[in-house]
Structure 1
Amino acid sequence: MSAADGMTRRAALRGGLAGGAWLAAPAVAAGSSGDPRALAYRGMIDRGVPAFLGIRYARAARFDRPVREPVPTAPTPATQFGPLCPQRGPMTPAMSEDCLFLNIWTPDAHSSARRPVMVYFHGGAYNWGSVTDPLTHGAKLAEQGDVVVVTVNHRLNLFGYGWLGPLGERFRHSGNAGQLDLICALEWIREHIGAFGGDADRVMVFGQSGGGAKMATLMAMPAADGLFHTAATMSGQQVTAQGPGNAWRRTRALFDHLGLAEDGGAALLALPYERLLEGLEATDPVLGGSLYFGPTLDMLHLHRHPFWPDAAPQSRHIPMILGNTRDETRAFIRSDGPVVQGLDWQNIAERLAKQIRIDLPADWVVAQYRAKFPHWSAEQLFYAATTAGRSWPGQVIEADARARAGAQATWVYQLDRPSPIDPTRGAAHTDDLPYVFGTLAAPGSYSGTGPRARAVSDAMITAFAGMAHTGRPGLPSWAPYTLADRATLVIDEESIATRSDPRGWERELWARGPYIQPGS
């Protein structure tokens, strides 16, 4: 996401949280009278759908693992989102380290309903983000998909993924604390979602961007085994986690930026979070740019990489959707920004080399693309190559790894439909979100609200909700992915159809070099 897009989104979120539609909504209760599992939460009606917002699922001390609490027995309001984890450039003013809250939308808050459950993890890499985003409000998806939708907030950046293990036992959980939050939320869902009309035996996890990466990481974490039954990632893969060596280099860079000694664990526990956020401005010693945070191969909670050297065996039985957009990088490399402005055939190789994650000669890559697509402009080539050499390879690796391991069926999609709102975006990163949630008119959506946008949204809700209901996408024409044909559902302005290896030429070109997961 670009800085400008982020500012627009943040302003929209501030407005969305205070809207009159929320304040005027009548109250609803979870459970049923006489049901021993009935809960005391008092929710509201959001666009015709019962909603329960800001439900606490755990508490956690700074850098420690989360601890579940008993659910309340007295009537408890659940009509406002909980605070965000502290982060730079917050999307709402409400931030707190006490941020372990989830939200539920359900067609019928009755324990006898037993609908499948779709649990969403938000994007924003591992550094920022929130499920308060209007794009991911769950009312439409719950109603149209006939599912219970749950969205989860958790700890991020230093608070959720800062590796402090070398500082001693007190910090042994730090490198994966944010992942442990998600596991804790899934445990809460397993025990309590029945009172909200959900079926704990049909839980689908899905996430976009960083949320998809978090979900892919859970597929390799033993503590998450058995907590979900189907899965989907949207422009978010995690082939490898970061090693503890690189993770510790990042922690030391943060210490240096804050002026702390290398054994500054006591200071990290004592400083206010606002001061710790200043440390996030340190330069990443591995990647350059701002500090990367992500899951750590700590051999305590994460014992192997999610999709290297193969697909984690514990999750091969889980049906999975993998998706990306055609023009991923148009969302965060702006066409009017310094990287693209003035781009021409003389400087494209130099600019391209700084953006790709597969180490091939950039001038050679440009020559290959120009020979294959002679009618393309330098800008078209730049965005195609940066997407295929940076944002797309993880999906190919994960789909191939699952197919090679004989995992349960995998389905792959590619969103090609360009934004009718901003033609410079094409089909960019995040643009599949409003289609899956049905939030076409929400602030931050680039889908438009015309007939084609509604048709695409109907298809994607049918596909994703069908996965939650039956373990197969709800579109019978969507063929599973195999190494023989690499079937991919291509969603464009004219059709929604399965095609065989639609970007095969680019896939083969970039397969000539190894993909290194950013941050690892």
Structure 2
Amino acid sequence: MSTQPKSQHKTPIIADSSTVVVQTSSGKIRGYIHRDIHTFKGIPYGEARRFMPAEKPVAWEGIRSCLCYGPTCPTTQAPEFSDELEFAFQPNRGYRVDEQCLTLNLWSTNTAVHAKMPVMVWLHGGGFANGSAIEFPSQDGENLAQNGEVVLVSLNHRLNVLGFLDLSAYGTKYKHSANVGAVDMVMALEWLHENIANFGGDPGNVTIFGQSGGGSKVMCLMNAPSAKGLFHKAIVQSGTYPNHFTDKHISQKVSTALLEELKLGPGQVQALETMPYEQLANAGTKALEKVQASMQPDEVPALGLEWNPVMDDFLPYQIGSPAANAFSAVIPLLVGSVKNEFVPFEMDLRKVTEEDAQFMLQEKYGDQKAAYKNALQKAYPEAKKASELIDVDLLYRPLVIHFANQKYTAGDAPVYTYLFTWQSPVMDNSLGAVHCMDLPFVFDNIALCEQMTGGGKEAYILAERISQAWVHFARTGNPNHNLLPNWPAYTPENGAVMIFDNVCILKNHHDKALMQIAIRAKSRK
């Protein structure tokens, strides 16, 4: 049961040299116990040279200390937060940045081999360019491991130009460079398959889950033949975009533009292997911009050309293709989004007047403005303020429905959908259900995220309901439990969606008309 944190524990920390020692395939590691949770941080699951597929870590003698988080992947594109958002999100940029960042973190209540607890593997957000497993306090795994009796794992992997620069046109040496960041994740799953039983986990019951870019990584692994059998359930949180792997002809244009930016010829590609990261990354950013400028408007992704996985031998199927749907058909899926997503980032909702809202609606929907307002009122009858006319996310929610329909068509495993609508009370209610607001609830980390959630009683109650739904899904492939209304699997006919709010309720097609109007408006642009 989710409770507010206790101020005292009889033995809050055990961190001696012998109590928490576990054997792995590379050697013994030492962690610590906090609140009865066995915790290991910075466990190496691979080693890699720049642009090369990772290899298993070199075995070590003795006992390796794994008490602190490992390094995070370098990045030059992290978004800037305003003072208020910095306060709310409390981001951690990482105490150490290094290209050798292939480490994972693990929380478990029981490291006995016979425990066979469900394993939940967290893939962090930030697209495929930014972020880390320690970026936000909401991602700490201790509470979910303790309250859910699961083994919780998070990991770092290569990002941006280090993980997704396609140099395959410059020799077989670089054949796999376009997706080494995603191959890293497969290596982490392989490490878990080999070692997780020693931490109390069941290698036959692994759930991968992620939010935003982490959700996209889940979709990526659902399409990767080399990951088949390494996980058994999937959860995608606000992560159904991007929903298209980069085509090879685009990814190779980016590498060509990068070499031109650095004034290097095709025979000088090897210089990229030792070039300072900042120089390489800045050239990569300019190359993306240059290639995007040369693309037709309908070719450019909604959020612009970014570092993303590339279609090649590692990812032979495009997302949504019949082959892709068939490939992951047996994987139960839980997928959803939050009500406001990026809108609170894009504007200060406290300053939106009635005139502002009406102008924006007219600009976007034209003669469909009245129909939009009627559909919005049907979907969200509680909406009263001017800002609530324009704060509903219309990017991720339609993609959730589209992805759920595809999953249903595959037919071999259930899909469940949700919508997180709970409104944060902090900052004069201006955050709403912003992108990432669901994380403290999924991880049952309200106490660590009071600046974001307010830390009130209602937040704790909802966190228990949501985190237990995730745990039940990880255990059985079904998120139902006794603190929620009955939650049937989604079908295109029933449109079943669990609304997560102070009162959780199951609705059917509640926003269908709204989504149809939004999709039509987008197609007219």
What is the TM-score when the length of structure 2 is the normalising length?
Answer: 0.83
| Bigger Cα displacement from structure 2, 205-214 vs 444-453 | 444-453
Let me know the Cα RMSD of the aligned residues.
3.0
Partner of 1:10: none
Distance 1:45 1:69 in 2: 25
Residue 415 (structure 2) aligned to one of 410, 416, 429: 410
1:485 aligns with 2:498: no
Q: Match for 2:319 among 299, 306, 312? A: 306
Q: State whether residues 143 and 445 of structure 2, in contact with CA within 8 Å, keep that contact through their aligned partners in structure 1.
A: yes
Q: 2:115 aligns with which of 113, 116, 121?
A: 113
C-alpha contact (below 8 Å) 2:232/2:331 kept by paired residues? yes
Equivalent residue number for residue 481 of structure 2:
475
Equivalence map 1:56-455=2 (5 Å): 56-69=44-57, 72-88=60-76, 91-132=93-134, 133-237=136-240, 238-261=242-265, 264-282=268-286, 284=289, 285-286=291-292, 287=300, 292-298=306-312, 300-309=313-322, 312-335=325-348, 343=356, 345-346=358-359, 362-364=365-367, 366=369, 368-370=371-373, 372-373=375-376, 379-384=387-392, 387-388=393-394, 390-422=395-427, 423-443=429-449, 446-455=452-461
SS for the counterpart of 1:442 is helix
Partner Cα distance (2:116, 2:317) in 1: 35
Q: Match of 2:9?
A: none
> Which sits farther off after the overlay, 418-427 or 190-199?
418-427
Q: Of 20, 28, 32, which residue of structure 2 is paired with 1:29? A: 20
SS of 1:190 mapped into structure 2 = helix
Q: By how many angstroms is 1:331 displaced?
A: 4.5
Once the two structures are TM-superposed, the CA of residue 305 in structure 1 deviates from its matched residue by 1.3
Structure 2 CA distance, aligned partners of 1:441 and 1:410?
A: 31
**1:504 to 2:501 alignment:** no
Residue type of the alignment partner of 1:176:
N
Q: TM-score scaled to structure 1, two decimals?
A: 0.84
User: What's the secondary structure of 1:127's corresponding residue?
Assistant: coil
Shift of 1:507: 2.5
* Alpha-carbon shift at residue 217 of structure 1 (Å): 1.1
Q: Is the 8 A contact 1:439 1:445 kept in 2?
A: no
- Asked if the contact 2:350–2:430 (Cα under 8 Å) also holds between the matched residues in 1, the reply is no
Per the TM alignment, residue 273 of structure 1 is displaced from its structure 2 partner at its CA by 1.2
Q: What is the CA–CA distance in structure 2 between the aligned matches of 1:25 and 1:202, rounded to whole Å?
A: 29
- Equivalent pairs counted in the alignment come to 476
Q: For residues 299-334 of structure 1, give each alpha carbon's deviation from its aligned partner in whole angstroms, at most 9, with x where no partner exists.
A: x11101132357521211111100100111235323
Provide closer, same or farther for how the CA distance between residues 296 and 31 of structure 1 changes in structure 2, counting only shifts above 3 A: same
CA deviations over 1:27-63 (Å, ceiling 9, x no partner):
442448xxx9896111012444110000000011111
Please list the CA deviations of residues 233-265 of structure 1 after superposition, one character each: whole Å capped at 9, or x if unmatched.
111025321111222233344344444446652
Give runs of ≥4 in structure 1 deviating > 6 Å: 336-342, 374-378
- Rounded to whole Å, the distance in 1 between the matches of 2:343 and 2:460 is 23
Residue 465 of structure 1 is matched in structure 2 by 471
1:126 positional shift: 0.6
List per-residue Cα deviations over 1:109-165 (Å, max 9, x = no partner): 222221111000000011110111321110000000000000010000011112222
Separation (CA, whole Å) in 2 of partners of 1:263 and 1:363: 54
Q: Distance in 2 between matches of 1:207 and 1:347?
A: 32
SS of the residue corresponding to residue 232 of structure 1 reads: strand
Q: Is the 8 A contact 2:325 2:406 kept in 1?
A: no
Task: Tell me the amino acid that sits aligned with residue 162 of structure 2.
Answer: F
The answer to whether the 8 A contact 2:215-2:238 is kept is yes
Q: Distance in 1 between matches of 2:440 and 2:72?
A: 21
Task: Tell me which amino acid in the other structure corresponds to 2:400.
Answer: Q
One-letter amino acid of the counterpart of residue 308, structure 2? G
State the SS of the aligned residue for 1:50.
Answer: strand
Distance, in Å, in 1 between the alignment partners of 2:334 and 2:211 is 12
Contact 2:27 2:64 survives alignment (8 Å): no
Contact 1:431 1:445 in 2 (8 A): no
3-state DSSP of counterpart to 1:217: helix
Q: Which amino acid aligns with 1:203?
A: V
Distance 1:405-1:155 versus aligned 2 partners, 3 A rule: same
Deviation digits for residues 386-408 of structure 1 (CA, Å, limit 9, x no counterpart): x21x2223211110001122130
Deviates more, 1:399-408 or 1:273-282: 273-282
Q: State the secondary structure of the residue aligned to 1:303.
A: coil
Between the aligned partners of 2:368 and 2:75, the Cα distance in structure 1 is 37
Q: % of aligned pairs identical?
A: 29
CA 290–401 in structure 1, closer or farther in 2 if over 3 Å, else same: closer
Contact 1:239-1:397 at 8 Å conserved across structures: no
Equivalent residue runs for 1:32-51 within 5 Å? 40-51=28-39
Which range moves more in the overlay, 483-492 or 340-349? 340-349
Matched residue SS, 1:509: helix
Q: 1:194 Cα deviation (Å)?
A: 0.8
**Residues 40 and 415 (structure 1 numbering): CA distance in 2 closer, same or farther, change over 3 Å?**
same
Point out the structure with the larger helix share.
2
